[in-house]
């Protein structure tokens, strides 16, 4: 509600954000709310929150820019969180050592940089803790208003963290992000510090408070957000995109979550653990890895109309970790079409078309003779993969039917995979799940599900997004109707209302 400095002065114009825990791909993650800004009294108000438990944080990024960085690039590097119609305080950067500058935007202005005893205002979570694991969660129900979530900021001793990238040919101007350990999945604005790589691959983070960190050097990073999106995050230098732009912004099927991702041209990535104490850290070496490229062909199953279609072909991390980013490409498919997805990290990626795209469906994806449509592609050995064949079909499935019973006119029909292994690790845009509201006559229509075995259940409309919880799926599977969909099948399915209680 209010923020002040160690002397009790209001902290004006700084960013405050709520983080709530949600299940993504079956794993618990924190997602950021809209960003509020403190006013001239130091007061803030986070509104339009979806009910849930929130950790509230005053953001504070120690942003290092180079003296040689052009002013325009510095503005981007500073990553000012844009505020609708707000006062632009200007984006000055303070000279520290003749090479590096500490940029100041809408975070608390630190004490003057000092060669002997630099201090910084660290980001903190209510009530006054630097890590989200110690934050006191605030329970927000519909219509709840909580006051008195106040912060008093204290400058803490800070040090310089420097080092170099190893294995990068030219990483100059690449953005490096220093994240509190355990907060790697947080997006722009939640860094403890950022810097840009110098021409020789060296880097310096100024003003880093003590703590355990993960240094992220990434071609692609993304974040999950929940809110009405009044705040847009800036592009980092060398990165294109941002929410709703060229980068992928995707409405998740549940809870009004948005996924946004920032993409760089370089494609390189690396991470390193950094422990910061009371002394400068000087020799951090970040091993830089080449990104993985996945190539192959998209083929249309025969018997179709031979249509030519433009769509997005994407690769999403199966575990739904937004910090791993999301690679996507506009592609025009015309018969047998080659494709290449560049910039993947190491892990398991689900390949495919966005779930909203329902003119065609993915019949199969193979590599080395194995079917990987539902399990994902393993890139953990860091090698490029060249033989992926994505088969599309115009012969899409549909399930149509009527729900009977109490509340059938306002029910949610949830269809989910019969294979329990698919209840997690389905990425941020699941293909094998559908939650569809019935209309006033209790009927529903679900189109474009891939062929396979599913459970279907009709529940109260309030539970339309309960499917994200594997425990709900477990309970629902005991009362659900099991169905098998074959390619192109037009299925009729009548359901009766079920009560699914998650223990």
Binding residues vs another protein (CB under 8 A): 5, 10, 12-13, 39-40, 45, 47-48, 67-71, 74, 84-90, 92-95, 98, 101, 104, 109-113, 230, 400, 402, 404, 408-409, 439-443, 445
How far is CA 336 from each of CA 300, 365, 368, 392, 463, rounded to the nearest angstrom?
A: 7, 14, 19, 10, 42
Q: Which tokens sit at 283? A: 């020799």
Cβ proximity of 172 and 199 under 8 Å: yes
Smallest separation (angstroms) from another protein to the CB of 363: 26
Q: Which is nearer to another protein, 9 or 166 (CB)?
A: 9
Task: Give the residues across from 53 on adjacent strands.
Answer: 139
Smallest separation (angstroms) from another protein to the CB of 323: 30
Closest CA to 385 of 340, 336, 348, 330: 340
Q: Which tokens sit at 140? A: 């927000």
Q: Which tokens sit at 173? A: 């101007």
Smallest separation (angstroms) from another protein to the CB of 201: 20
Smallest separation (angstroms) from another protein to the CB of 86: 7
In Å, the largest CA–CA distance within the chain is 75
Q: Which is nearer to another protein, 50 or 131 (CB)?
A: 50
Q: Which is nearer to another protein, 97 or 371 (CB)?
A: 97
Q: Which is nearer to another protein, 219 or 495 (CB)?
A: 495
Q: Which is nearer to another protein, 115 or 501 (CB)?
A: 115
Smallest separation (angstroms) from another protein to the CB of 27: 31
Smallest separation (angstroms) from another protein to the CB of 15: 12
Q: Which tokens sit at 257? A: 């979550």
Residue 450 is given by DSSP the state P
Cβ proximity of 124 and 130 under 8 Å: yes
Cα 309 from chain centroid (whole Å): 28
Smallest separation (angstroms) from another protein to the CB of 245: 21
Omega into 301 within 30° of 0, i.e. cis?
Answer: no
Backbone angles phi, psi at 78, to 5 degrees: -65, -25
Q: Which is nearer to another protein, 230 or 387 (CB)?
A: 230
Residue with tokens 């110690």: 134
Backbone angles phi, psi at 440, to 5 degrees: -65, -15
Smallest separation (angstroms) from another protein to the CB of 290: 28
Cβ proximity of 225 and 243 under 8 Å: yes
Closest CA to 151 of 29, 18, 20: 18
Q: Which is nearer to another protein, 209 or 325 (CB)?
A: 209
Smallest separation (angstroms) from another protein to the CB of 81: 14
Q: Which is nearer to another protein, 143 or 338 (CB)?
A: 143
Q: Which is nearer to another protein, 23 or 415 (CB)?
A: 415
> Dihedral of CA 355/358/363/368: which sign?
negative
Interatomic CA distance for residues 227 and 17, integer angstroms: 11
Interatomic CA distance for residues 483 and 417, integer angstroms: 10
Q: HEC profile for 348-415?
A: EEEEECCCCCCCCEEEEEEECCEECCCCCEECCCCCCEEEEEEEEECCCCEEEEEEECCCHHHEEEEE
Smallest separation (angstroms) from another protein to the CB of 453: 26
Three-state secondary structure call for residue 471: helix
Smallest separation (angstroms) from another protein to the CB of 117: 12
Closest CA to 178 of 82, 302, 286, 90: 286
Q: Which is nearer to another protein, 74 or 348 (CB)?
A: 74
Q: Which is nearer to another protein, 117 or 501 (CB)?
A: 117
In this structure, the strands spanning 443-447 and 398-404 are antiparallel
Residues 6+ apart with CB under 8 A from 165: 171, 174, 197, 201, 203, 217, 270, 285, 286, 288
Smallest separation (angstroms) from another protein to the CB of 257: 21
Q: Which is nearer to another protein, 105 or 361 (CB)?
A: 105
């Amino acid at each position: 509600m209010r923020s002040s400095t160690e002397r009790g002065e209001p902290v004006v114009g700084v960013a405050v954000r709520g983080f709530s825990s949600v299940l993504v791909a079956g794993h618990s993650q924190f997602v950021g709310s809209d960003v509020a800004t403190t006013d001239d009294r130091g007061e803030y108000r986070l509104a339009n929150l979806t009910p849930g438990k929130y950790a509230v944080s005053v953001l504070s990024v120690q942003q290092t820019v180079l003296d040689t960085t052009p002013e325009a690039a510095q503005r981007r590097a500073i990553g000012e969180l844009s505020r609708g119609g707000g006062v632009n305080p200007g984006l000055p950067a303070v000279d520290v050592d003749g090479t590096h500058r500490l940029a100041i935007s809408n975070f608390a202005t630190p004490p003057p940089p000092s060669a002997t005893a630099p201090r910084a205002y660290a980001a903190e979570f209510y009530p006054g803790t630097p890590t989200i694991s110690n934050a006191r969660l605030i329970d927000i129900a519909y219509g709840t208003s909580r006051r008195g979530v106040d912060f008093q900021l204290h400058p803490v001793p800070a040090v310089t963290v420097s080092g170099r990238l190893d294995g990068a040919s030219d990483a100059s101007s690449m953005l490096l992000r220093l994240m509190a350990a355990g907060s790697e999945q947080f997006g722009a604005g939640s860094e403890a510090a950022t810097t840009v790589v110098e021409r020789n691959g060296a880097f310096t983070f100024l003003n880093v408070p003590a703590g355990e960190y993960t240094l992220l050097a990434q071609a692609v990073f993304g974040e999950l957000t929940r809110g009405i999106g009044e705040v847009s995050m800036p592009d980092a230098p060398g990165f294109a995109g941002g929410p709703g732009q060229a980068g992928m912004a995707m409405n998740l099927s549940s809870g009004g979550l948005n996924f946004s991702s920032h993409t760089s041209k370089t494609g390189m990535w690396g991470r390193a653990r950094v422990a910061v104490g009371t002394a400068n850290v000087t020799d951090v070496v970040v091993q830089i890895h080449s990104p993985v490229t996945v190539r192959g062909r998209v083929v249309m199953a025969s018997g179709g109309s031979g249509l030519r279609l433009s769509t997005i072909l994407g690769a999403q991390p199966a575990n739904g970790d937004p910090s791993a980013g999301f690679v996507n490409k506009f592609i025009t498919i015309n018969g047998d079409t080659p494709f290449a997805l560049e910039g993947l990290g190491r892990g398991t990626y689900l390949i495919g078309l966005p779930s909203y795209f329902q003119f065609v469906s993915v019949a199969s994806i193979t590599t080395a003779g194995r079917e990987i449509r539902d399990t994902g592609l393993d890139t953990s050995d860091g090698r490029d993969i060249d033989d992926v064949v994505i088969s599309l079909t115009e012969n899409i499935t549909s399930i149509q039917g009527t729900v009977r019973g109490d509340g059938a006119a306002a029910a949610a029909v949830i269809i989910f995979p019969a294979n329990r292994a698919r209840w997690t690790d389905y990425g941020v845009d699941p293909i094998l799940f559908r939650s569809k509201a019935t209309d006033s006559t209790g009927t529903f229509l679900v189109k474009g599900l891939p062929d396979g075995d599913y459970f279907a259940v009709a529940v109260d409309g309030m539970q339309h997004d309960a499917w994200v919880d594997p425990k709900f799926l477990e309970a629902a599977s005991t009362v659900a109707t099991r169905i098998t969909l074959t390619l192109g099948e037009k299925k009729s399915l009548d359901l009766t209302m079920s009560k699914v209680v998650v223990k």
